[in-house]
Structure 1
Amino acid sequence: MRTIYIALLLIAFSANSFAQDNTLKQEITKLSKAKWEWMADKDVDKLSTLFHDKSRFVHMSGSWKKDRELEIIKSGSIWYKKADVHDVVVEVIADDTVLLWNRITLTAHVRGNDVANEFTVTEFYHKEGEDWKLLDLTFSKVRDTHEIAH
């Protein structure tokens, strides 16, 4: 009888953990989608709240911190016009740490021209209090046939 009771507790715990992971995955996926919209809208106020003060951004042309990324977005020197998200994979590391990978086609206005590039974008989120903070956003140029393994 004791073995059955322990097995039922383990099943209940696993089901709760699975449901919690799915909730976190949905929350981060929604936040990532909103981030792409804020970037397209050049909404540096919302992005400033989302980006951790020690966040890093890795692009094809370089790597920099939060203040430079916000300046680039605000000035329009890179205007993230539209991110067509083709695939999303989310990995919950802990209740306060989540990694997300987007496979996107990014249309951006750079140096006077509209350009479209295929990327896998890695996003690293950490929860501080009640708020999720983006710690890292890294663009990796890929072919349009690239797939993210689930």
Structure 2
Amino acid sequence: MKSKKSMVMKLIIGMIFLLSAMPLAFSQSQVEDEGIRKLSLDKWHWMADKKVEILDDLFHEKSVFVHMGGAWGKTAELEVIKNGGIWYKKADVHDVSVNIIDNTAILLNKITLLAVVGGNEVTNNFMVTEVYQKEGNRWLLLSLSFTKLI
């Protein structure tokens, strides 16, 4: 039988190892959280600037976009942005929550969106749901849904 002293030492070493790994796991989670927040904010700027080449790389091939006037896929969304059917002129992001589950990130953004739709400038408050999936080292947007806030 092992001595009590030996068992206590192993327990202490195990706890030290476990506690030392916790900040690393927390910091990796924080980095991932901040990275996806920045990507989301960058996306709003790319949409405002109509940078469809960058957005084409960000949007997953099977991505979906839900608006007040309908829902469509990647190709239609890029055309809407490129041709100015919807010009996401400025998104003021008031609040963002991030929930990362394995390789999926769900963001809820409370925004005030200044947009030009059909030639008319409009301002609306939305809760925007963004769903991203990590493929390799990069995040791809799977879904972007606008819910109008009253």
User: Secondary structure of 1:36's partner?
Assistant: helix
Q: Please provide the CA RMSD for this pair.
A: 1.1
CA positional deviation for 1:25:
0.8
**Pick from 62, 71, 74: which aligns with 2:70?**
62
- Displacement of 1:130 in angstroms is 2.3
Structure 2 spans left out of the alignment, 5+ residues? 1-8
Name the counterpart of 1:79. 87
Percent identity between matched residues is 53
Of residues 28, 31, 37 in structure 1, which corresponds to 2:45? 37
Match for residue 147 of structure 1?
none
**1:70-108 CA deviation, whole Å, 9 max, x = no partner?**
0110110111000000011111212x3211111100010
User: Partner residue of 2:118?
Assistant: 111
TM-score, length of structure 2 as denominator length: 0.90
Are residues 1:124 and 2:131 paired?
A: yes
Question: For structure 1, which segment, 107-116 or 3-12, has the greater mean C-alpha deviation from structure 2 after superposition?
Answer: 3-12
Q: CA deviation at 1:135?
A: 0.6
TM-score in terms of structure 1 length: 0.90
Which whole-Å CA distance do the structure 2 matches of 1:97 and 1:75 have between them?
Answer: 31
Q: Which residue of 2 aligns with 1:23?
A: 31
Runs of 4+ residues deviating >3 angstroms: none
- Secondary structure at the residue paired with 1:42? coil
Unmatched runs of 5 consecutive residues or more in structure 1:
144-150
The residue type paired with residue 64 of structure 1 is W
Deviation at 1:122, TM superposition (A): 1.0
What code does the residue aligned with 1:99 have? I
Name which one, 1 or 2, has greater alpha-carbon Rg: 2
Q: Distance in 2 between matches of 1:121 and 1:4?
A: 47
